[in-house]
Each structure stands twice: as C-alpha cells, then as structure tokens.
Chain A
Amino acid sequence: MTYVAVYFVVACVVASLLTYFALNRKVDTAGIESAQKLMNSLDIEAFRNLVNPEEEAFLQASLPADRFKAIKRERLWAAFAYTRALSGIALEFSRFGNALSQSPDAGMADLGKQLSGGAIQLRILALTASGRLFMAAAFPNLPHKSPRSLLEQYDRSAKLLTLCGLRERSRRSESRVSA
C-alpha cells in the first residue's frame, strides 16, 4: 500500500507541475531597448579579467601561496556569480529572439532566429561554465578551464543585438520619413 501511495503522490506532483507550466507559459517580449539595457547591466570586462588565465598566472607569481589561494577562491566565486547572471540574460535573449523571429520584417525575423539560436548556445555554455566554476571555487587546487567559448559566444550575441538595434533604428527612421 505504501508503494501505491508513493506512486499516487508522484503522479499528482507531476500532473500539478505540468498544469503549472501550462498556466504560466511566458509571453516572449520583443523590445530591443530592454534587451540592450540587460546586456549593458553586466560588466563583461570585469568578468573577462576574473577568468583571464594570464591574470591568474600573474597573481600566482606575485602573491604568497596561501594568499593566492584565498584570492583565487574569491575570484572564482565572483566569476560564478557572473556566469549565473549571464545565464539569466541568455534566457531573456532567447525569449527576445523568439519574439523577434515572428516579426513581419523578414530581415528582423532572420536576425531573431540567429539571436535565439545564439542565446540558447550561450545559455548552455553559461550553465556548464557555472558548474565548472562552482567546482573550481569549491576546490581551488584543482586545475580549471577558462570559459573562453562562453565569452566568444557572448560577443557574437552582443554583435547580433547591436545589429538588431541598428536595423530597428533604421526601420524607425524610414517610417518617420515615409510618414
């Protein structure tokens, strides 16, 4: 009987979760300004410095071992916080890209698709980098890989977003002229 009750509870929980997802499907929003604001909110240069292997090598050479270990741990925790923020931004970009891909303007729709694909890639990379940085922060003696591909993907997404912004601005000025 206990097993039956457990299965019943599991079935109810899964059904409730599915109903919750069905009732709370998010509306994808298309607002270039808000997406750009979100992107600017992250100090990407600071993040680049935090995960720069050369900077880490410099710190290792100039600091005593125990001091370096403590600083390395702090830097890794900060980088971990950045990747989490980046992961959230990627999710918003993906929604923005999805919404943009429905645009009646074919060029914008294409950019939207590219942006959404890039954002998903960025999200996957950010999630994996978060895991790696968490492990590295927990065990600073272990060697860790710099999230270079994450930064490269971020640059690609940022370029696409700038392109979207330029296109939107030219669309607006065109509509002003035609009006």
Chain B
Amino acid sequence: MSPFYKNLSLYLWMAPHFFLVVLGMLLYRRGLHRTFPFFFLYVWYEVAEFLLLFTISRIHHGAGYVTAFLVTWVGSAALRFGIIHEVFNKVFSHETHADAFSKAVLWWVTATLFVGAVFLSLFATGQTSGNLIAGISLVGRGVAVIQCGLVLFLILFSNVLGISFQSVEFGIALGFGIYACADLAYFAARTADPSLETVRLLNLLPTGSYHITVLLWIGYLVFPKRRLVEPLQPYSAGEVSRWSSEMERFLQ
C-alpha cells in the first residue's frame, strides 16, 4: 500500500466527520435540530460511530472491528431512511391537498422498491463468493437501491406537482441521493468479489462521495439559494408616464 493511498484513505475517512461536527453545530445554532431531528441525530451518530470505529481500528483489527462496523452500519442505514421520510414530510406537510395523496404514493413506491431490491438480491446477483463481506454487500446494495429510488422519487414527484423545495431540504435530499448512488456502485462491485487492488480503489468511492455529501450539506446550509422569487412585475413605462401626466394635470 503506497503512502499516498494510505494518507488519502485516512483523510477521506477522517475529514467528513470533522465537517460533520461543524455541520452539527451549524444545525444547532440555526435551530434546525428542531426542524430536522432525524438529520441532527444522524450527524452526531455518524461522529460517534467514527470515533468508536477509529478507536477500535487503532487498538486491534479483526472480528471486533467488523462487528462494531456492522452494528453501527445498520443504525446508520435506518437513520437515513428516517431522514428521507423526514424530508418528504417536511416538503409535503405544507401542501394539505397533496399530503394524503403523496403519502399513499410514497408508501407504494417504498413497497415497490423494497420488493424490487429483494428480487434483485435473489435473482440478479451474479457470481458471489458467499463470504461475510459479499453478504453484507448484497444487503448494502439493496438498501442503496431503495434509498436511491426514494430520493429520486422525492425530487421527481415534487417537480411533477410543482412543489418547491427550500434550500436545506433540497440539500439534504441531494446529499443522500449522491451518497446512495456511490453506495450502490460500491456494494454492487463488492458483491463480485474483486481483487485486493480493486477493493482498495473501491474503498475510496463511499468515503470520497461522503466527503462531497457533507460539504454539499454545509454548502446548502451556509449559502442557501436566495429566495426563489422574482419581484412582482414593476410598473411599465407607459403607466409611469400616464401617472406623471395625471399628476401634472392635477397640479395645474
């Protein structure tokens, strides 16, 4: 393993969590922990998870690390589902007319994606070694399929209905979407039991995309898109001149 790769992978593992601390503090300072409780919890959960895994990796490698990774990964995946649901509720809760309809559609989409992910895991797996990593990758790929689909559906559906996203909501959804896409590609490649060199390269994919995701979240929080409003149409030149001649007439 080259020192460059070692430093890069260490940086990509550590840096997003440092930025997550910044994000967590920003969310708290802006009172967004009340608006997005799941997201706030997720941010600090990820930081705690990193500290735990980093400490374990420094003490000893092996079964202990794998167990801790697995347990925390399940929690993280569950929280991500919670956040997608939270953003969905936030976007559609303002729209009382669309709320019931959108919830019904979301339920059906989630159910379809779940069945699709299970179906793909059973019938579209290709050659796998059958070891623990391949098994985890299979589950991870299924989770990524569902999350990718949900985020894409959320953005497409709100676009179709003409529901406008606030910047922070859109940023959260976009970040998770991009991260889920990277996860999908990563877990799909891991199921094929690749060589050690390929695994090393592949490991940079989720960590790199997570880094981008965290920066995206901070970006959308710190530099929200200015209100998506154009001013009401100004008075036309004709109106102003008519108004001015009326005024002149009045003053005479």
Q: Give the interface of A toward B (CB within 8 A).
A: 1-4, 6-8, 10-12, 14-15, 17-19, 21-22, 25-34, 90-95, 98-99, 102-103, 113, 116-121, 123-124, 127, 168, 172, 176
- Which residues on A sit within 8 Å (CB–CB) of B163? 94, 120
Inter-chain contact A117/B96, CB cutoff 8 Å: yes
Among A8, A30, A124, A127, the residue within 8 A (CB) of B229 is A30
28 A-B pairs in the complex with CB atoms less than 8 angstroms apart: A3-B192, A4-B126, A4-B191, A6-B124, A7-B188, A8-B188, A11-B144, A12-B181, A12-B185, A15-B182, A18-B155, A18-B174, A18-B181, A21-B159, A26-B228, A27-B230, A30-B233, A31-B232, A32-B232, A33-B233, A90-B162, A94-B164, A99-B228, A120-B98, A121-B97, A124-B98, A172-B235, A176-B243
Inter-chain contact B233/A10, CB cutoff 8 Å: no
Among A8, A31, A91, A117, the residue within 8 A (CB) of B185 is A8
Whether A14 touches B152, Cβ cut-off 8 Å, given contacts A22-B170, A28-B229, is yes
> B125 in the interface, Cβ–Cβ < 8 Å?
yes
A172 to B242, CA, bound (A): 14
A113 to B95, CA, bound (A): 9
> B34 in the interface, Cβ–Cβ < 8 Å?
no
The 10 tightest CB contacts between A and B, nearest first, are: A94-B162, A7-B188, A121-B97, A15-B181, A11-B185, A3-B126, A11-B184, A91-B162, A11-B181, A18-B177
Inter-chain contact B174/A7, CB cutoff 8 Å: no
- Which residues on B sit within 8 Å (CB–CB) of A94? 161-164
